[in-house]
Amino acid sequence: MLNSHLGDGYVKYCLYRLQKLLSLGIKLIVVLDGSRLNLKDAENLRREKERQLRKEQALNILKEG
C-alpha cells in the first residue's frame, strides 16, 4: 500500500505507460505481486491448511488405487 506522495508518481508513470499501450491496441494483462499482507495472515493460514489437507487426501487416494 502506498502511504506517501513518492508512490503516487510511480503509479502515475505506470498508468501513463499502460494507457499508451492500450491506445496502440495492445491487450494488456497486468499482474501485481507483492509481499504478504499482515491483514490476511489468518486467511493465508486457513488456505495453507486446506491445501495440505487436500494434498494428503489426494495422496491417500493414489495409494488406494
Q: What pLDDT score does 53 carry? A: 98
Taking the whole predicted model, whether its pTM rises above 0.75 is answered as no
| DSSP-assigned states of every residue in 1-54 | ---SHHHHHHHHHHHHHHHHHHHTT---------PPPGGGHHHHHHHHHHHHHH
pLDDT digits (tens, 9 = 90+) for 2-49: 555 666 888 899 999 999 999 999 999 988 888 878 888 999 999 999
d(C-alpha 17, C-alpha 9), whole Å? 12
- Gap between the Cα atoms of 65 and 58, Å rounded: 11
